[in-house]
Chains A and B, each alone.
Chain A
């Protein structure tokens, strides 16, 4: 009788431990409950990382690489066979995708008073920032190229784009955001995809669920000055995030930093007092274009521009003051 009671107590203890352990394991594994696959590669002249949650995640990763490579072939400034190069060479092109992206670009150029302008392709080439040819060009060379540029010299009629002048368009400021739009469309139309996060350089798309608990996605923003450190983390359910900063590509001469984001009014790297701008919105092209435009415009005008598009943002100035704008969940 005494032995029976003892065995019963031991079994009860073991059962209690098993229940406690099972509960702990369930809590621990709630965040890892979808199949996932990750891959990093070079695309669009930068790092592309993917994490896809789905029943068969590997296949989507391969498809996304193909989608981005095809887009790169179409809008590459360097590839002489790209559709964009044909437009730059011949001054006219019938291509719906390029017409659509240029519509967005010219609208933002207009709203930013012309400081954001994708027609400064040859000026960017002249500066060569981030390449082995980076240099400070002569003032005469800059003003000569600037006189040829101007977003208002682009005409768009349906899917046909025509240039009224001798200039080149560089879609570097919006190409990665455009890729994020394509990736979002693909993920939305793919069967069996639970969710995914893809970054193409400073442009990010997050889609669907990251786990069954429905936790928000967490997108880290790099510290603009301290390499390897984070500025903070944005939490969001779905959408696009783009960051523009003076730390991405730059060189220094006589103690002055020359970064790659050019002010299309002056022809020089902009000096708005900002060192990093992150934009969150519901379009990849917009988030990419707005982060660049706001970086050039500065905090006050940038805030106004973001509000016109219902976008949210994080502005960091050279004294490391951080300002958040709009509806954004940012921990820092």
Chain B
């Protein structure tokens, strides 16, 4: 106990400041590595099982249109939707907009799948 007190007394203000800075930097780095996982959504578009587009939604400063197969897919920083399709039923367009990590939608006749990846709190979703 006395030894601990002695040791504490030998610490200068500079030592304490250095320790505080090191711990703070570690915590910020640790927290930011989690935060980057949680916030970023990656859009992937597949044509017949082959990845055609992979883009971070955060990197989209304005609406962007991707033509994949017979479909036009519209994405912005927050979500994605099918805008046009050559398919006969148009079910993909009726599906509307998708914003959640782990969610997916498809234009079955055109064999195009659109999926959002991120740090969803589940392994898969029953569609």
Interface residues, chain A, with chain B CB atoms under 8 Å away: 5-6, 9-10, 13-14, 17, 20-21, 24, 28, 38-42, 45-47, 49, 51, 65, 130-132, 197-199, 201-204, 206, 210, 217-222, 227-228, 230, 233, 241-243, 278
18 A-B residue pairings within 8 Å (CB atoms): A28-B30, A42-B111, A42-B113, A46-B106, A47-B127, A49-B115, A51-B124, A65-B49, A132-B88, A204-B126, A206-B123, A219-B126, A220-B102, A220-B120, A220-B125, A221-B126, A233-B121, A233-B122
Task: Give chain A nearest CB distance to B67 CB in angstroms.
Answer: 18
Cβ-closest chain B residue relative to A210: B123
Cβ of B55 < 8 Å from any Cβ of A?
Answer: no
Contacts A20-B26, A46-B108, A218-B121 known; A199 to B11 CB distance under 8 Å?
no
State in angstroms the CA–CA spacing of A132 and B87 once bound together. 10
Flag if A219 contacts B124 (CB, 8 Å): yes
Flag if B113 contacts A222 (CB, 8 Å): no
State in angstroms the CA–CA spacing of A20 and B23 once bound together. 9
Flag if B89 contacts A51 (CB, 8 Å): no
Task: Give chain A nearest CB distance to B73 CB in angstroms.
Answer: 14
State in angstroms the CA–CA spacing of A10 and B16 once bound together. 10
Flag if B126 contacts A21 (CB, 8 Å): no
Flag if B108 contacts A49 (CB, 8 Å): no
State in angstroms the CA–CA spacing of A14 and B15 once bound together. 11
Task: Give chain A nearest CB distance to B4 CB in angstroms.
Answer: 13
State in angstroms the CA–CA spacing of A65 and B124 once bound together. 17
**Contact indicator per residue, chain B 26-51, by CB within 8 Å of chain A (1) or not (0):** 10001001100000000010101101
Cβ of B72 < 8 Å from any Cβ of A?
Answer: no
Flag if B49 contacts A243 (CB, 8 Å): no
State in angstroms the CA–CA spacing of A199 and B34 once bound together. 27
Kindly identify which residue among B44, B122, B126 contacts A243, using a CB–CB cutoff of 8 Å: B126
Contacts A20-B26, A40-B44, A42-B48 known; A222 to B127 CB distance under 8 Å?
yes
Contacts A199-B125, A219-B123, A243-B126 known; A9 to B10 CB distance under 8 Å?
yes
Interface residues, chain B, with chain A CB atoms under 8 Å away: 10-12, 15, 18-19, 22-23, 26, 30, 33-34, 44, 46, 48-49, 51, 88-89, 91, 95-100, 102-106, 108, 111-113, 115, 117, 120-127
Flag if B30 contacts A21 (CB, 8 Å): yes
Closest 6 CB pairs of A and B: A41-B49, A220-B122, A218-B122, A243-B126, A220-B125, A40-B113
Question: A210 to chain B: which residues have CB within 8 Å?
Answer: 123
Flag if B126 contacts A13 (CB, 8 Å): no
Interface centre among B34, B88, B105, B125 (most CB of A within 10 A): B125
Contacts A46-B108, A201-B127, A220-B126 known; A13 to B102 CB distance under 8 Å?
no
Cβ-closest chain A residue relative to B11: A9
Task: Give chain A nearest CB distance to B42 CB in angstroms.
Answer: 11
Kindly identify which residue among B12, B30, B104 contacts A47, using a CB–CB cutoff of 8 Å: B104
